[in-house]
Amino acid sequence: MSNHKVLAFTVSIDGFGAGPNQSLENPLGVGGESLHEWFFPTRTFQKMLGKEGDSTGMDEQFAQRSFANIGAWILGRNMFGPVRGPWPDDSWKGWWGDNPPYHVPTFVLTHHAREPLVMQGGTVFHFVTGGIDEALQRAREAAAGKDVRVGGGVATVRQYLQAGLVDEMHLAIAPAVLGAGEALLAGIDLRRLGFEPTRHVGTAGAMHVVLTKTSPPAP
């Protein structure tokens, strides 16, 4: 049975999962890259770039874990690209070029329909206009028993959390202060949603905290 997971999602000390003013030049928002300094040196990330990484410690273990047993992804539209409103054409194919790192069916939440986009390496982007429930249903079917990863961005993770549709969440708390941006957990009561911390590991780059839903959401 599929579990629904948020994995390797980084937040700043002041709770922001992305910086303000996302753009083509700043896909993670202004200052957002500072959140991911734990992830960039890992073998997992460097492999995405076709390079050899030298990080083999706990950061790499958490990075590698975030791709294990994933059968489908769900992304918000901002995670796919900076294009707003109706798609002007099919020229934008995502931030990652011809071979994105997902390698499984990937469902993009959007208000504007678009034909599926087949990429190299097994990634197929499906554009879902029916909301988070439709995206999750389709992702579970595509995952065929493997886990579904809710990849972000912040607004997408918040929607799934608030709907009680996340089973496990791994947050990497980076030693960075953004001051502004997209707050991940503002106004969200994780205890009411049934989450408890089940693991925490500190590294030079982040505090890794795993939160697991151990009880049903409170009414």
Q: Tell me, yes or no, whether 91 lies in a domain.
A: no
Q: Could you tell me the residue range of the domain that residue 60 belongs to?
A: 4-17+27-83+99-213
Q: Residue 141 and residue 105: Cα distance in Å, rounded?
A: 10
Torsion angles phi and psi, residue 13, rounded to 5 = -55, -35
Asked if 35 and 11 touch (Cβ cutoff 8 Å), the reply is yes
Indicate the burial class of 34 (C-beta count within 10 angstroms; 0-12, 13-18, 19 or more): middle
Asked if 81 and 153 touch (Cβ cutoff 8 Å), the reply is no
Q: Tell me, yes or no, whether 43 lies in a domain.
A: yes
pTM: 0.94
Q: Tell me, yes or no, whether 89 lies in a domain.
A: no
Please give the DSSP secondary-structure letter assigned to residue 202: E
**Cα-Cα-Cα-Cα dihedral sign, residues 169, 74, 151, 79:** negative
Q: Tell me, yes or no, whether 78 lies in a domain.
A: yes
Q: Tell me, yes or no, whether 107 lies in a domain.
A: yes
- What does the pLDDT look like over 153-183, one tens digit per residue? 999 999 999 999 999 999 999 999 999 999 9
Q: Residue 87 and residue 143: Cα distance in Å, rounded?
A: 27
First to last CA, the chain: 25
Q: Tell me, yes or no, whether 113 lies in a domain.
A: yes
CA distances from 87 to 12, 77, 106 (A): 32, 11, 18
Number of domains in the chain: 1
Q: Residue 36 and residue 59: Cα distance in Å, rounded?
A: 11
Does the pLDDT value for residue 70 go beyond 70? Answer: yes
Minimal CA–CA distance to 123: which of 156, 86, 149, 154?
149
Q: Tell me, yes or no, whether 94 lies in a domain.
A: no
pLDDT of residue 154: 95
More confident residue, 218 or 63: 63
Amino acid at position 181, single letter: G
Q: Tell me, yes or no, whether 90 lies in a domain.
A: no
Which CATH number do you get for residue 39?
A: 3.40.430.10
Q: DSSP string covering 20-66, please?
A: SS--SS-TT-TTGGGGGTTTTTBHHHHHHTTS---B-SHHHHHHHHT
- What does the pLDDT look like over 39-58, one tens digit per residue? 999 999 998 877 876 667 99
Q: Residues 181-208: what's their mean pLDDT? A: 96
